[in-house]
């Protein structure tokens, strides 16, 4: 087990699997088991997602897997979870495994973290963003959602503890960090879980760190940033990756898949390879069975394999 020291002095465990070109993979490498795993499946979450991705990639690449999301939830940084510090943390992981050059794959807020990394280093051999648009990202909308989440954490309702997910947090909605902590079974509607009725169980420090992140991104011009990305790049999302948040969550519509589809031609002109997973929502499009057929051959074509 390798440890990487992050910007706040804490350390995160990094599991290294396989040989070949290095891929940084911010996932929980340890499957969740038992009743907790059963509860996660009710939310459409794979309790062994990280392990499945590792197993699908480590025969061709050196996979450096680390539960960054779980780490920041366990060691919240309410004042310092900024884009620059996140990028520095990711570089610290690369340093810890001795990777001068490396590829990166992240999903949702960990995808936007990869974009922040790409504009701050020339060490990236390839960038893959899943479930978050590289162009005209919904930073303003997500600030409203995270601020609403924080306000609910400040004045919590009495609810049972939420089950944890395969990536170290509690069940997610359309964006991993937004209404992140939810309790009890997913209320069902004819269209699936009723996300609007879940409750926040995160601490104020946990929620505030994501407010800090999105506040820092309000002035970020992802269109201007495209010229600063010097590596091959891929983005993908489900075509149904859309969510309308009720007033208690900020009253906004967050478009992830739709925004990528609308800007596909422009993204491709800017050098992005684009994949759309027809009919899939945020959770469905992050599953290993959907990701690996896109991720593995693309990485092999760009950085080679073992």
Segments of the chain assigned E as strands = 2-5, 11-17, 22-25, 62-65, 102-107, 124-130, 188-189, 192-193, 233-238, 242-244, 253-255, 272-277
**Which residues on neighbouring strands pair with residue 102, listed in sequence order?**
124
Within a domain: 73 = yes
Q: What is the mean pLDDT of the chain?
A: 87
Q: Residues 70, 93: contact at Cβ < 8 Å?
A: no
Write out pLDDT tens, residues 100-156: 999 999 999 999 999 999 999 999 999 999 999 999 999 999 999 999 999 999 986
pLDDT at residue 175, as a whole number: 37
Is residue 91 helix, strand or coil? helix
Structural domain of residue 57, as residue ranges? 2-138+221-246+253-303
CA distance 43 to 286: 13
Within a domain: 96 = yes
Within a domain: 42 = yes
Write out pLDDT tens, residues 46-81: 899 999 999 999 999 999 999 999 999 999 999 999
**Which residues on neighbouring strands pair with residue 253, listed in sequence order?**
244
pLDDT at residue 257, as a whole number: 98
Within a domain: 169 = no
Within a domain: 277 = yes
Question: What CATH number did the domain enclosing 55 receive?
Answer: 3.40.50.1820
* Predicted confidence (pLDDT) at residue 10 exceeds the cutoff of 50: yes
Confidence of residue 96 (pLDDT cuts 50, 70, 90): very high
> What is the number of structural domains in the chain?
1
Residue with tokens 């978050």: 132
What percent of the chain has a predicted confidence (pLDDT) above 70?
Answer: 85
Within a domain: 241 = yes
Which of 222, 204, 16 shows the shortest CA–CA distance to 113? Answer: 222
Within a domain: 155 = no
Residue with tokens 């001795």: 98
CA distance 157 to 162: 13
Within a domain: 212 = no
Write out pLDDT tens, residues 167-226: 223 333 333 333 332 222 333 333 545 555 556 678 999 999 999 999 999 999 999 999
């Amino acid at each position: 087990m390798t440890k990487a020291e992050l910007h706040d002095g804490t350390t995160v465990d990094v599991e290294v699997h396989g040989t070949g070109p290095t891929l940084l993979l911010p996932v929980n490498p340890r499957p969740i088991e038992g009743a907790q795993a059963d509860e996660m499946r009710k939310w459409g979450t794979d309790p062994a997602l990280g392990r499945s991705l590792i197993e699908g990639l480590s025969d061709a690449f050196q996979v450096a897997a680390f539960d960054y999301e779980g780490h920041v939830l366990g060691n919240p940084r309410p004042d310092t979870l900024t884009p620059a510090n996140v990028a520095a943390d990711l570089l610290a992981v690369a340093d810890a495994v001795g990777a001068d050059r490396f590829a990166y794959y992240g999903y949702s807020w960990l995808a936007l973290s990869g974009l922040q990394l790409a504009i701050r280093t020339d060490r990236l051999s390839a960038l893959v963003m899943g479930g978050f648009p590289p162009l005209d990202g919904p930073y303003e909308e997500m600030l409203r959602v995270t601020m609403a989440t924080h306000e609910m954490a400040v004045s919590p309702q009495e609810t049972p503890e939420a089950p944890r997910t395969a990536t170290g947090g509690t069940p997610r909605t359309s964006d991993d960090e937004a209404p992140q902590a939810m309790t009890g079974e997913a209320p069902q509607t004819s269209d699936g879980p009723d996300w609007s009725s879940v409750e926040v169980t995160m601490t104020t420090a946990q929620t505030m760190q994501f407010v800090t992140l999105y506040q820092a991104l309000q002035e970020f011009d992802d269109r201007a940033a495209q010229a600063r990305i010097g590596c091959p790049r891929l983005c993908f999302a489900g075509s149904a990756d859309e969510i309308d948040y009720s007033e208690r969550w900020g009253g906004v519509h967050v478009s992830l898949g739709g925004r990528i589809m609308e800007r596909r031609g422009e993204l491709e002109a800017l050098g992005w390879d684009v994949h759309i997973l027809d009919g899939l929502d945020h959770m469905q499009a992050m599953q290993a069975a959907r990701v690996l057929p896109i991720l593995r051959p693309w990485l092999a074509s760009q950085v080679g394999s073992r």
